[in-house]
Amino acid sequence: MKEDEKEYTGFQALYFSALDSDVSLITGVPGYPITSLMELFLEKSDATYNARWFTNEKVSLEIALGASVSGRRALVLVKHVGMNLLSDPLITSVTHTIGAGLVIIAGDDPGVKGSQNEQDSRWYGRIAEVAVFDPVDADTAYRALRRAYELSEETKTPVVLRVTAGLEKSKGKIKLLPKALAPHPEFDRSIWKNRMVEKHQLFHSRVYPLLEAEAENTNMNKLREGTRERAENGRKSDLSNGLVGIISSGFVSSIVEKTLRKQDFKKQNLYPEISHLSLSLVNPLPLGKIRTFLNSNQKVLVVEESEPFIEEQIRITGNVYGKKTGHLPYGQIASEDIEFALEHMGEEEVSKPVDTAIFQTGSKERATICDDCPYLSLYRFLSTLDVGVAGDMGCSVRSAPEPLKAVDVSFALGSAISVACGFEKKGIAVIGDFALAHSGILGLLSAATAGFEVLVLVLQNEVAAMTGGQEVPDLKKVVEAIIPDVSVFNIDLIEVKAADRIEGEKETACKKEKQLPTPELSEMIRDKLALPGISVIFIKGRCRKY
């Protein structure tokens, strides 16, 4: 196969685009779906760039900012919830200004296949006032990242590029562009002659207009006109009530196109009359293009994942339909959802009943603790205690539902210690060693200085088990410097097996033996709970998966 005939996934396209953009530093924090993109850089690492995992998104961006101000292009890879942590330096960097191009690739998870929520990273474009690309396919992803670095240097601001697992799996041809060459700009210290309020005014008078012009003029926002002819296929539809157009964003635009190209038994397109405005640069929105499109159609359906980001900004015109009107679901969008919406465009609002099958299949497909997890005995013991147990967004969160019911609450990665400090009486924080390094150590430091009472159980398996088995730093010595009462318990050395006696839990068909709570560990936990102040137990256990 010739080089120009090869097809690449969206993530492979981003990998090649980063290389051709002369990126020298790649930082990232593991998490779905971004892990597989970083693995491309780690597998193929060479002398042209340095790619490294870190445990905290704020730190990852700050390191990239340091590279940028010294004239090195940098790339930051995080999942959508990681945008929450790095938003502090991101928002400040916009008016502070940077040097060489800096791009943040945010991996969103419509459908919540590997995350604690279904957050939409495009909103950070509005909050931070930065450009946000949302590429449709592999070729657009390649061109979007190339342009993102140029735009970053032209505006002296970071740029966000949003991706989803759909883009990762999609395949297509890409057209490579000439490689970018150094040198790249360094930080211009003359910005310091302005006060912060003046920097903000300068940004809106000089920089943001450049982003607005980019949105209006980029060829990555594409319009495909419909034929404006009714398809004579006997199909019952509300489309006959007037001209209908679709505005979409990102990977879901490809699903829209596939839907519009569907044919009936006569090999005729089902929706030849529908125009489609596909956006790959979504912040700022190209309001001029959108205004023209809205005026050209009596009704416009906005198709986007996960939140009504575009719809919220343009629905004041009154002829906009989508999630807010009930025509489309929140989160992930399928072709059937688009077809349903088009068939109900005659209705101002749609009250679609909730699909109860989602709840029925959800419980069956829920990820659970591995059968050979070394911490199963611990989770069973925790469920018997009459104390509050705060978990974390690591493996321990899987112990919250039945049948284990070990963890009571779990809000964010690294949150367990701080949450447990808020309990009315002394409780337990169950936190993985990765979550401790991510941000939990700050909660422990605050607990120590503020005089809270909490028992911290650090599950020390030395890997980030939920995100691919990345190595985790050992913080035991750091914790010992903060907390006087630190113990270590190696759960792998205690192998007590017997028949499962937990009330309400059914025996397995093969009647496998399961670990029971170890008397040594359970006694240690009870003793530490009875003590005043803070106690920490590092519970060592080898993850069987890695």
- pLDDT, tens digit (0-9, with 9 covering 90-100), for 313-328: 999 988 999 999 999 9
Write out the H or E segment, with its range, that includes residue 482: helix 476-482
- CA–CA distances in Å: residue 159 to residues 26, 139, 249, 480, 482: 15, 19, 17, 40, 38
The predicted pLDDT at position 2 comes to: 59
In whole angstroms, give the CA distance from residue 275 to residue 290. Answer: 12
Residue pair 457/428 in contact (Cβ under 8 Å)? The answer is yes
Which tens digits make up the pLDDT trace of 485-529? 999 999 887 654 433 434 444 444 333 444 555 788 999 999 999
What is the per-residue pLDDT for 515? 52
What average pLDDT does this structure show over 468-474? 84
Q: Is 486 helix (H, G, I), strand (E, B) or coil?
A: strand
Amino acid at the residue 363: S
Single-letter amino acid, residue 262: K
Phi, psi of 514 (to 5 degrees): -125, 155
Residue 530 main-chain phi, psi, to 5 deg = -80, -15
User: Buried (b) or exposed (e) across 260-270, using 16+ Cβ within 10 A?
Assistant: beeeeeeeebb
Distance of CA 142 to the CA centre of its chain: 20
* Amino acid code (one letter) for 61: L
The span from the CA of 494 to the CA of 374, in Å, is 10
| Cα dihedral value 328, 329, 331, 332, nearest 10 | -70
Q: What is the CA radius of gyration of the chain?
A: 26
**Local structure of 497: helix, strand or coil:** strand
Predicted local distance difference test score (pLDDT) of residue 364: 52
Cis peptide before 403 (omega within 30 of 0): yes
Task: Write out the DSSP string of 337-367.
Answer: HHHHHHHTTTSSS--PPP-HHHHHHHHHH--
451: left (phi over 0), alpha (psi -120 to 50) or beta: left
Q: Say if strands 171-172 and 222-224 run parallel, antiparallel, or are unpaired.
A: unpaired
pLDDT bin (cut points 50, 70, 90) of residue 358 is: low
- Whether 49 has a pLDDT exceeding 50, the answer reads yes
Mean pLDDT, to the nearest integer, of 282-290? 97
Residue 305 has pLDDT above 60, yes or no: yes
Name which of 104-113, 218-227, 365-374, 409-418 the model is least confident about. 365-374
Tokens for 69, please give them.
Answer: 């101000």
Cα–Cα distance, 402 to 394 (Å, whole number): 17
Q: How far is CA 38 from the centre of its chain?
A: 14
Backbone angles phi, psi at 463, to 5 degrees: -140, 160
Adjacent-strand bridge partners of 249: 279
Question: d(Cα 156, Cα 152) in Å, to the nearest integer?
Answer: 5
Mean pLDDT of 351-373: 65
Percent of the chain residues past pLDDT 90, beyond the cut: 70
Separation of alpha carbons 409 and 427, rounded Å: 12
How does residue 352 score in pLDDT terms, banded at 50, 70 and 90?
Answer: low
pLDDT (tens digit per residue) in 186-242 = 999 999 999 989 999 999 999 999 999 999 999 999 999 887 554 444 444 455 455
pLDDT digits (tens, 9 = 90+) for 153-167: 999 999 999 999 899
Residues 233-260 have a mean pLDDT of 78
